[in-house]
Structure 1
Amino acid sequence: MSSVPWSTHAVELGSADVTKRFRHGGRERCEREWRALTLLAAYAPGLAPVPLGVGLTADEPVVVMSRLPGEPLREKPLTGRQLKALAAAVGELYAAVPVGVLDEIPVRPGRQDQLIAQIRAWAPRARPRVGGEVGVAMDRGLEWLARSGMEGAGRPDVPRVFGPGDGNLANYLWDGSRVRIVDFEDSGLSDRAFELAEITEHVASWVDHPLDVASFLGEFDLNAVERVRLQDCRRLLALVWLFLLSFDDPEHPRNPPGTAERQAVRLSALLMAA
């Protein structure tokens, strides 16, 4: 068995199972992970790991699940077949949980209002520290946010879905024929536009081998309201990532040099798009 550390949890890989051990205070994350696995085992069997056991009352809560085959889609160019399989898996996830069951699922963390509040808290600290194209893009993003109507907008009038809450392509495993999904600690009630923006704007979708966003999004039949919302959600998530990347420690960077500048270009393009 090998152990892989993460910021919120540690993962112990067995030959047939995976143990996800959350840090102290991670009960809510553990609950969300377990809820997602049990829901998907019931409504989309085979799409996610099979839930095997849970320990919610432990000081470090734990979930045990089956180990899925496959390699993460992050850090590699996707073939057309892989891209379609990714979209199919995501679409299956969004459609899996029945409406009546969705009524009982809490809204996921990191939702729109929380992200906007975080941006407002970051701005006074971050903006004086950055200049050049990053600062210009940050100003443009904040100006767009002020007039976007997204602040205090309440629940969007779009179909609700069960969302995984993390767009990192490392959580999507390709086994040669299909894509399966792991990591649900931030999952909950959401909508397609927001969740799709989580994927397209995550740094993992463009920093090494850019995801073909147009082809990926073209696999989803969004209604008119969702299409408008998707554009706004992409701008919001891109702005969040610009702030996050601006905080990268140059002495111990988590991303390649120039990533924040590249994100500034991405955000500016999204703000200019019709």
Structure 2
Amino acid sequence: MRLLGRSRLMTSVPWSTHTVELRSDSVIKRFRRESREESKREWRALTLLAAHAPGLAPVPRRADLAAKEPVVVMSRLPGEPLRGEPLSDQQLKALAAAASELYAAVPADVLAEVPARPGRQHHLIAQIRAWAPQARPRVSGEVGEAMDRGLEWLARSRMERVSRPDVPMVFGPGDGNLANYLWDGTRVRVVDFEDSGLSDRPFELAEITEHVASWVGPPLDVEAFPELFDLNAAERARLPECRRLLALVWLFLLSFDDPRHPRNPPGTAERQAARLSRLLT
């Protein structure tokens, strides 16, 4: 179960695409019948990474993607999730190394056949536009002010007018939750690819730096982390814009948290409002 669904969640109802059964040497993911596309993306990513970056992700064992409730079986990786613990310099560098290996893993000719991941820029912008009339009347104070500033920034930005960014395409995991990055004491490996697909490095890095898991507990060093990547000029220019967009998405998501059944500590939305305001300064 994820802490929050991404662009697909706008209510307080718990939501997950799958269940996970952990065995001694394998993991079985059983997807809901309406999550067939997620199961296909998971299997595609596992098979691609097994071929082009062996050891970085679980080994695909078998899949029944045509079942009423699709099933994907993979090897079980060693290690503990990076979420919830302060990261040492060694762990931060290992996280960057794993992400870099993942982004570069799929050869260009193969990557050209990979569909774009869900939740890309134009999808998120459309979701924000749909959320705004419902979310804005529900909030006030610093959350409302940050939401207004974010919407004003979005209207001025070029993000709505650019269909495809002029940066290199990569294979992206599609989920920035640090719980998906496992540290075994030496290296980091990656799990959870149901939202994976064609993407770009600035967008994927923003997924990590802006994910609530990167700051609601012991914070990720979101300034030092991107510096561990050799981004070109266009990617460096795009990164702050992606961070603002993802931060705005998270502000909306957190504003929907039900105070009677909160998923996050009190004041999380207000903290996110402050984070977004700093990014917009």
TM bin, normalised by shorter chain, reads over 0.9
Partner of 1:179: 188
Structure 2 portions without partners, runs of 5+: 1-13
What displacement does 1:6 show? 7.0
Residues 16-68 of structure 1 deviation map (CA, whole Å, 9 limit, x = unaligned): 00000001121110000000000000000000000000001111101000000
Work out which of the residue numbers 200, 209, 213 in structure 2 matches 1:200: 209
Work out which of the residue numbers 200, 208, 213 in structure 1 matches 2:222: 213
The separation in 2 between residues aligned to 1:126 and 1:157, in whole angstroms, is 32
What displacement does 1:257 show? 0.3
The separation in 2 between residues aligned to 1:259 and 1:68, in whole angstroms, is 32
Residues 161-180 of structure 1 deviation map (CA, whole Å, 9 limit, x = unaligned): 00000000000000000000
SS of the aligned residue for 1:48 comes to coil
Instruction: Flag the structure with more relative contact order, 1 or 2, with Cα contacts below 8 A and sequence separation at least 6.
Output: 2
Q: Is the 8 A contact 1:113 1:152 kept in 2?
A: no
SS of the aligned residue for 1:189 comes to strand
Partner of 2:109: 100
Structure 1 portions without partners, runs of 5+: none
The separation in 2 between residues aligned to 1:20 and 1:169, in whole angstroms, is 19
What displacement does 1:197 show? 0.2
What displacement does 1:123 show? 0.2
TM superposition score normalised by structure 1? 0.97
Q: Does 1:68 align with 2:108?
A: no
Partner of 2:145: 136
Residues 122-144 of structure 1 deviation map (CA, whole Å, 9 limit, x = unaligned): 00000011000000000000000
Work out which of the residue numbers 187, 194, 199 in structure 2 matches 1:190: 199
Q: Does 1:158 align with 2:164?
A: no
User: How many equivalent pairs are there?
Assistant: 268
Q: Which moved more, 1:148-157 or 1:31-40?
A: 148-157
What displacement does 1:224 show? 1.1
TM superposition score normalised by structure 2? 0.94
The separation in 1 between residues aligned to 2:224 and 2:161, in whole angstroms, is 32
SS of the aligned residue for 2:109 comes to helix
Q: Does 1:257 align with 2:262?
A: no
Report matched runs for 1:1-274 at 5 Å. Answer: 7-272=16-281
SS of the aligned residue for 1:155 comes to coil
What displacement does 1:215 show? 1.5
The separation in 1 between residues aligned to 2:244 and 2:271, in whole angstroms, is 15
Task: Provide the alpha-carbon RMSD of the alignment.
Answer: 0.9
